Amino acid sequence: MKLNTFSRLLLLFLLVSQAVKSDESFFVEDIQVKGLQRISVGTVYNYLPVNVGERFSLDNVGSAIKALFKTGFFKDVSLEREGSTLIVNVVERPSIAKIIFEGNKDLSKDDLTKALKKIGLAEGKVFDRQVLDKVEQELSRQYFSHGKYGLKITTEVADLTRNRVGIHINISEGRVAKIKQINIVGNTVFDDKTLLRNLELNTSNLLSFYTKDDQYSKQKLSADLETLRSYYLDRGYINFNIESTQVAITPDKKDIYVTINVKEGDVYTLEKVKLAGNLVVAPDELIKLVRLGPEEIFSRKQATETSKAISERLGDDGYAFANVNMIPEINEARKTVDMTFFVDPGKRVYVRRINMTGNTKTRDEVLRREMRQMESSWASSSKIERSKTRLERLGYFDEVNVETPPVPGTADQIDVNYSVVEKPSGNLSAGVGFSQVQGIVLNANIAQDNVFGSGKRVNLAFNNSNFSTNYQFGFFNPYFTVDGVSQGYNLGYSKRDAGQINIANYSTNVVNAGINFGIPLNEFDSLRFDLDAKNTELTTTDFSSTQIQDFIAKQGSSYLTLAPSVGWAHDTLNRAIFPNKGGQQRFSALATVPGSDLEYYKLSYKHQLYLPVAKDITFRLQAELGYGDGYGGTDDLPFFENYFGGGTGSIRGFKNNTVGPRESNGFPFGGSSKVIGNAEMFFPVPFMPETKSVRLGTFLDAGSISNGLNVDNMKYSVGLSGEWLSPFGALSVSAAVPLNSDPSTTAADGTVSGDQKQVFQFNFGQNF
């Protein structure tokens, strides 16, 4: 190959030497380029190391030809002279018109196209056979990372018109090579089972079809080696070392064996922990952040978290670029470590301006009143991030981003730039839906969450179903005062037929009006005060039970009540929809004022806790308690204020509202106390991990509805759940099996006893 190239250049040199005599040179008065098809003349002029008006001789021939060949555009170049004109003859390389992939299943065409583009092979580019030789190497690298080692690739190049070529790449992927065995050699302190369960790679198991943890990749192995190293370093084995790794594949390229050779070393304990450097924050505050101490086993994880915690604390005081370096001093004889955290705070950084962009409808003040970071004060990383979170929780924006660029010409100032993408805050909708409880549901809603960009909310709603008719009007001002005290009003009318939702036979007509105030206590806690006036009219039927008839005989059928209530909320959820971290607690107490037609009180508490278990997997614990009773002239909690259980949002697997006491006719009557517990594991839909609007879950529900503080008759169920935030409304489904249901029986007089089961339950609404 090299000899042919040399001969070719020698021939070109001889040809040119005939046109350009060695004993004569000339001034170039013109340059002509012949043979161009796609390449412009200007491109040749740019690369040619000679210009019009310059002297050209035989000494310049080699450099000129070399310069044009180096562009990669030409497969042949020659020079000629006609008088004072230099003629450049070129033969262009063909361009790539089309690249066709065939047989690829595991990797998409886009992935393969991007991979080839990195090595210079792409449609529209100049074709170079030397680059084509790299195709198999690059595609093999891509497929090997997916565990496909039986790969076979063939390429064909077809000549097309106008000096173009088409490339056909035929791929036979073969089957994925599975990990047959992972061996760890040299470990004596921890057994193989303990170490292997921390690794991402694994041998084939029942979930491998989804997790693909039995497919080898170099990247996964590198991550697992670091995980293994961290496991030992977090337990004091400072000198732990991975001496070698071997990856072997069987001749049929179907099975892979991985061997990891380790040296554990000895356990080291901490002897001293010190803070050094420029401690701009009081040492007493920083010491509280240190998560390891003398005589404890050394842990790199705890040391790293200590360094991070100190950096974040300094960041809250304006030292945004602080560095906290870990400096260990190892004593090999005593097997101890002295750890020093050296603090370099850097310069204190101040915020010059806070800028808002993207809010074309929402007033600037609506965004600025959510700011916890102030202008002209030192920059606090936690306040900047908290301000972003508060903007996201407003619900007015699809997206919120923040940047902190330094101010040009200064070393201690930054600007904080928030950019938002607004979403429609108004909603004019009509809808139809279906619920297993309410049947067909018709609704209409006019709502504006951000009236004239002020952040205030106005809504007018209508809802009609087989069970109820509701008309509601509401107004809410989240910043009634500049301190963030909120104020709201509501006015409504509702008519409810309880018999349509598995409850005893009676109906209520309710007219209500109320006012509420919310008072923020801090970033996560708030108080709420409500005052509601309500007029309730109770209507019976021929099938109403003796309990209902007795209640009306004593209390009447029309009741006017005035009920103040107070509530407390603590909310640390990271987002409003599908949270995966944080918690929420709510407590409320309501009581009608003495002298109301009905005198009673109700207490309720709800607690949710979200724990991230792994990537895209979240564990939720939830508890809900409720209790009510009468006082004064009312003996018990009015039966139409009772708690009910069963169905979606309660104890799934039991028919809606059927768990708990029943009245004399055998219909569910509810109780004065409620205890509901739920443990649920959420995970993404298999093969659709990027879909954020759908999630699945597996759950255990428990609950009891009773009169008085009694939890003896707890009901349990287990099952699977699914939730979808569809464009047509929210859809929730569950399939549950009760674990301790009592057999359902119906007596001759129609009285029902026992539990009513309902394995499949769903709720769906559609807006249009």
Name the token pair of 436. Answer: 């297993």
Tokens 């993207």 -> residue: 358
Percentage of the chain beyond pLDDT 70 is 89
Instruction: Kindly tell me if the per-residue pLDDT of 20 is higher than 50.
Output: no
DSSP state of 478: T
Q: Which distant-in-sequence residues (6+ apart) come within 8 Å of 459 by Cβ?
A: 445, 446, 447, 448, 472, 473, 474
Cα separation values, 437 from 544, 702, 726, Å:
20, 20, 21
CB atoms within 10 A of CB 198: 12
Q: Rounded distance, CA 733 to CA 296, Å?
A: 50
Contact 526, 658 (CB under 8 A): no
Q: Rounded distance, CA 45 to CA 71, Å?
A: 12
Q: Rounded distance, CA 382 to CA 65, Å?
A: 62
Q: Give kind and range of the element (H or E) at residue 64.
A: helix 61-70
Average pLDDT over residues 708-715: 81
Q: Give kind and range of the element (H or E) at residue 480.
A: none
Distance of CA 409 to the CA centre of its chain: 38
Average pLDDT, whole number, for the chain?
Answer: 84
Sorted by where each begins, the domain ranges of the chain are 2-92, 95-172, 178-263, 269-344, 350-422, 433-767
Q: Per-residue pLDDT tens for 606-656?
A: 999 999 987 788 999 999 999 999 999 899 999 999 999 988 889 999 988
Q: Establish how many alpha carbons lie within 13 A of residue 459's alpha carbon, considering only the half-sphere containing its beta carbon.
A: 21
Cα separation values, 169 from 139, 164, 165, 574, 590, Å:
10, 17, 13, 47, 73
Calculated CA dihedral for residues 61, 64, 67, 72, nearest 10 degrees: -90
Contact 329, 337 (CB under 8 A): yes
Strands 617-630 and 600-614: antiparallel
3-state secondary structure of 2: helix
E strands, 17-148, are 26-27, 30-34, 55-56, 74-82, 85-92, 95-102
Q: Rounded distance, CA 684 to CA 219, Å?
A: 23
Name the token pair of 302. Answer: 């705890």
DSSP state of 251: T
Percentage of the chain beyond pLDDT 90 is 37
Strands 269-277 and 336-344: parallel
* Phi, then psi, of 359 in degrees rounded to 5: -90, 80
DSSP state of 404: -
Name the token pair of 281. Answer: 């924050």
Q: Rounded distance, CA 724 to CA 695, Å?
A: 7
441 or 660, which is more confident: 660
269-344: CATH topology: Ubiquitin-like (UB roll) (3.10.20)
* Domains 95-172 and 350-422 are alike in CATH topology: yes
Burial of residue 428 (CB within 10 Å: 0-12, 13-18, 19+) is exposed
Closest CA to 428 of 398, 397, 396, 460: 460
Choices 3.40.50.1110, 3.60.60.10, 3.10.20.310, 2.40.50.100: CATH for 350-422:
3.10.20.310
Strand partners, 401: 419
433-767: CATH topology: Porin (2.40.160)
Q: Which superfamily is assigned to 95-172 in CATH?
A: membrane protein fhac (3.10.20.310)
Tokens 């008759």 -> residue: 713
Q: What does the buried/exposed string (b/e) look like for 156-192 if buried means 16 or more CB atoms within 10 Å of the residue's CB?
A: eeeeeeeebbbbebebebeebbebbebebeebeebee
Q: Give kind and range of the element (H or E) at residue 301.
A: helix 300-316
DSSP state of 65: H
Instruction: Kindly tell me if the per-residue pLDDT of 514 is higher than 90.
Output: yes
Instruction: Kindly tell me if the per-residue pLDDT of 532 is higher than 80.
Output: yes
Average pLDDT over residues 150-163: 82
The per-type count for the chain, helices as H runs and strands as E runs, is 14, 35
What would be the CATH architecture of the domain defined by 2-92?
Roll (3.10)
Q: Rounded distance, CA 541 to CA 721, Å?
A: 38
For residue 439, the model assigns a pLDDT of 46
Average pLDDT over residues 698-707: 94
Q: Which distant-in-sequence residues (6+ apart) come within 8 Å of 475 by Cβ?
A: 456, 457, 458, 488, 489, 490
Contact 502, 542 (CB under 8 A): no
Which of 68-72, 326-330, 340-344, 544-548 is the least confident region?
68-72
CB atoms within 10 A of CB 402: 16
User: What interhelical angle do 109-118 and 135-144 show, nearest 10?
Assistant: 130
Burial of residue 384 (CB within 10 Å: 0-12, 13-18, 19+) is buried
Q: Per-residue pLDDT tens for 346-380?
A: 889 999 999 999 988 889 899 999 999 999 999 99
Q: Rounded distance, CA 86 to CA 27, Å?
A: 10
What would be the CATH architecture of the domain defined by 178-263?
Roll (3.10)
Closest CA to 515 of 560, 565, 471, 469: 565
167 or 423, which is more confident: 167
Name the token pair of 750. Answer: 């129609």
Instruction: Kindly tell me if the per-residue pLDDT of 1 is higher than 60.
Output: no
Q: Rounded distance, CA 395 to CA 389, Å?
A: 11
Contact 530, 519 (CB under 8 A): no
For residue 587, the model assigns a pLDDT of 97
For residue 759, the model assigns a pLDDT of 87
3-state secondary structure of 193: helix
Contact 722, 761 (CB under 8 A): no
For residue 428, the model assigns a pLDDT of 45
Instruction: Kindly tell me if the per-residue pLDDT of 286 is higher than 70.
Output: yes
Q: Rounded distance, CA 190 to CA 296, Å?
A: 19
For residue 765, the model assigns a pLDDT of 46
Instruction: Kindly tell me if the per-residue pLDDT of 454 is higher than 80.
Output: yes
For residue 2, the model assigns a pLDDT of 43
DSSP 482-531: TT--EEEEEEEEEEEEGGGGTS-SEEEEEEEEEEEEEEE-SSSEEEEEEE
Q: Rounded distance, CA 266 to CA 253, Å?
A: 39
Average pLDDT over residues 266-293: 89
Instruction: Kindly tell me if the per-residue pLDDT of 33 is higher than 70.
Output: yes
450 or 227, which is more confident: 227
DSSP state of 425: -
pLDDT-derived band at 521 (thresholds 50, 70, 90) equals very high
For residue 581, the model assigns a pLDDT of 86
Contact 454, 471 (CB under 8 A): no
Q: Per-residue pLDDT tens for 46-66?
A: 888 888 888 888 778 888 888
For residue 424, the model assigns a pLDDT of 67
